[in-house]
Structure 1
């Protein structure tokens, strides 16, 4: 009881807890599915001083390997797996487990749902396979496995799968991903602007996880009038043996939803918003801090598209736009010496009164786009990235606000 301790309990928000969920059969932390039974699973236990009834409820989490045994109603295989992964159980405990499993398998409701509670290590997807991974994800969303975050509604999953199947593909390299991570963690409050979208429907994968909490490695968006639906994805499959991994790829694929939100014009987005990394990626691209080039696609995937008479898939590789290789020197006070700076920084967008015309005698205001300064082999200072996410300041002497940079 807490009264015997030195302080009363301190409430903690449920979403702030880093709980570990495990398979209800073998206790593996890499759970993937949730099953439900038509009735509560009740097992009577003889305590030696009478009997008690244990209530195991109706909800059952399963890892990928246990799920295969559950789907085939393999009682003996499931019991063997539990005994292999657990301690040396006494005979009466094994009998208790067998009774419990019989009830579970006999009363299972049809279907299963994906869960986001599994402890999967993030495994970013390669650019060469992005079309195949996207197509498999579209098939999952269009299928009959129940999805989290309200995505199972037919009015949602049908259009989402259709838009994903034709979405423009982007793959963000490691340096640009790190830039995005740093900027998203310090993202100032800004309103969503539909003009930030690089395409009406898109799918982006990052070279590194961009969200430590949700471990997102990819995201998609689809436009519906002024509203934009965003879905983040985490990877699954890391650490599985070859056979169950192959089955997972066939049944689910490489990615499962990690969050789903809808944005409307002007809706505020901050560093704590689930889509902060995606919105930051859009804004960095819009601010022309990135350049895109075609990425090489796996040959087998290109052949598969040809056989299906589909247009050859295109993946845009997103990386930081070319940088200056020199920088203003750093002067060390009192020594008169100069040295190279140990970081790169973004120069914010600004206006310049540029000379032009005959003998450069005329002047006009021009926009200087954001660009990097500093030694090319040095890291980018995160605070300078945040500053360039804003809009272009008003033109000097202008009577009306200047348009946002990149618009």
Structure 2
């Protein structure tokens, strides 16, 4: 067992170990009130605790019941759960706080107030407890289940392995996400405000769907990691309201596999999502899909015109995706929709959903094993590279007797079957240089 994720006054603050980032249990001697901290029993620590506020380090949270890292919900009790322990030499108080993180399977026992089921799961799936600790554990669990406040909130600290979404399932995933947003669970990142969640749920039901293939996902991830400082412009958006899923995670830290955006005047709200369900038994996965779905929020930000976005920004991946699409590096094609989803939409009288498959626009290949520039032969490259957008002074008109500056859009060069060189991706994220004046001499023709 670990202490709950408490917030508020100093006595309720959550502490973690500076050395290992593990949350710490808070003990208070009785009657002196002297406070001390210990590592939880699931943490086999080889060092003394160094307590600091939990928000000062990236604390490693686990289920407060069975110690599973796949946290999904947080529950609150009406008062602090405490256990008085007599050591024979004195008494101290184990203070477990008021907030309790739970994995999905423990949450089912908590929801049903099933003390024996919860105790059995802890003893089976959690850390091994000494027999004399079983009674203490039962006392703590009884307090938790007897004093639970109504409701629950989605956790933001669970360590679920990312599980990308197949393109044909996107309409079903989006609809379940809209139901989750509109439902009764408390949402993180300020999304729980009634006006916010209503507007978000409504936009999700009609949003345009995009699925980004492997190659374009790699391009996005590489570009987002090195993207220069860019100012957001509403014109970057491929649609006013959209939902995009990548074939692989694009954000290693937040493990995002999808993002949605909704426009409100000139501002756009962007929400990143991480997947849930990976690692659960099949029966539990089915219940999870029906109750929660496939995704939960990983971040939420609002961008306004001119606001800078860098590689460290939470929305770097979706903003990069928009910019690459706007630069005409992508082409879209209809993606297949799951048959069961189509039939479900027909039964409800809804129009058949459409999914846009996003992929890299066709590559310009070298015409032979060697390419010539002047008299120098360039050997075939073992990679593809992005050519920077530029202006070219080109002939046009009758008999090609006239000349004018035309834009050459960014494009790939190199052998079709070779990987894209990541370091060249940043070149195509910038803006096109100003168009040269009509009388500007061409450097090359």
TM-score, length basis structure 2: 0.83
Does residue 315 of the first structure (1) align with residue 355 of the second (2)?
yes
**Is 1:327–1:374's contact at 8 Å kept on the other side of the alignment?**
no
1:136-155 map, 5 Å: 136-155=176-195
**Is 1:201–1:222's contact at 8 Å kept on the other side of the alignment?**
yes
Q: 1:362 Cα shift?
A: 1.4
CA distance in 2, matches of 1:124, 1:18: 25
Does residue 263 of the first structure (1) align with residue 303 of the second (2)?
yes
Partner in structure 2 of residue 276 of structure 1: 316
Does residue 109 of the first structure (1) align with residue 149 of the second (2)?
yes
Q: 1:329 Cα shift?
A: 6.6
Q: Deviations over 1:239-294 (max 9, x none)?
A: 00012111111111000000000000000000000000000000000000000000
Indicate which of 163, 185, 190 corresponds to 1:123: 163
**Is 2:383–2:415's contact at 8 Å kept on the other side of the alignment?**
yes
CA distance in 2, matches of 1:319, 1:395: 28
Match of 1:372, SS state, is: strand
CA distance in 1, matches of 2:153, 2:143: 20
Partner in structure 1 of residue 4 of structure 2: none
Does residue 184 of the first structure (1) align with residue 227 of the second (2)?
no
CA distance in 2, matches of 1:10, 1:89: 25
Partner in structure 2 of residue 403 of structure 1: none
Indicate which of 88, 92, 96 corresponds to 1:48: 88
**Is 1:34–1:60's contact at 8 Å kept on the other side of the alignment?**
yes
CA distance in 2, matches of 1:119, 1:338: 48
CA distance in 2, matches of 1:125, 1:243: 19
CA distance in 2, matches of 1:328, 1:227: 49
Partner in structure 2 of residue 241 of structure 1: 281
CA distance in 1, matches of 2:422, 2:130: 58
Does residue 339 of the first structure (1) align with residue 361 of the second (2)?
no
Indicate which of 423, 426, 431 corresponds to 1:391: 431
Does residue 160 of the first structure (1) align with residue 200 of the second (2)?
yes
Higher relative contact order (CA 8 A, sep 6+): 1
45 and 253 in structure 1: CA distance in 2 versus 1, 3 angstrom threshold: same
15 and 284 in structure 1: CA distance in 2 versus 1, 3 angstrom threshold: farther
19 and 189 in structure 1: CA distance in 2 versus 1, 3 angstrom threshold: same
CA distance in 1, matches of 2:108, 2:51: 39
**Is 1:329–1:338's contact at 8 Å kept on the other side of the alignment?**
no
398 and 38 in structure 1: CA distance in 2 versus 1, 3 angstrom threshold: farther
Match of 1:309, SS state, is: coil
Which blocks of at least 5 consecutive residues in structure 2 are unaligned? Answer: 1-17, 19-48, 440-445
CA distance in 1, matches of 2:50, 2:377: 56
Q: 1:14 Cα shift?
A: 6.9
Which blocks of at least 5 consecutive residues in structure 1 are unaligned? Answer: 3-8, 400-407
Partner in structure 2 of residue 5 of structure 1: none
207 and 13 in structure 1: CA distance in 2 versus 1, 3 angstrom threshold: farther
Indicate which of 100, 105, 119 corresponds to 1:79: 119
CA distance in 1, matches of 2:101, 2:202: 30
**Is 2:363–2:416's contact at 8 Å kept on the other side of the alignment?**
yes
**Is 1:169–1:314's contact at 8 Å kept on the other side of the alignment?**
yes
Q: 1:380 Cα shift?
A: 1.1
Provide the aligned length of Structure 1 versus Structure 2: 389
CA distance in 2, matches of 1:67, 1:394: 58
TM-score, length basis structure 1: 0.91
Match of 1:28, SS state, is: coil
Partner in structure 2 of residue 197 of structure 1: 237
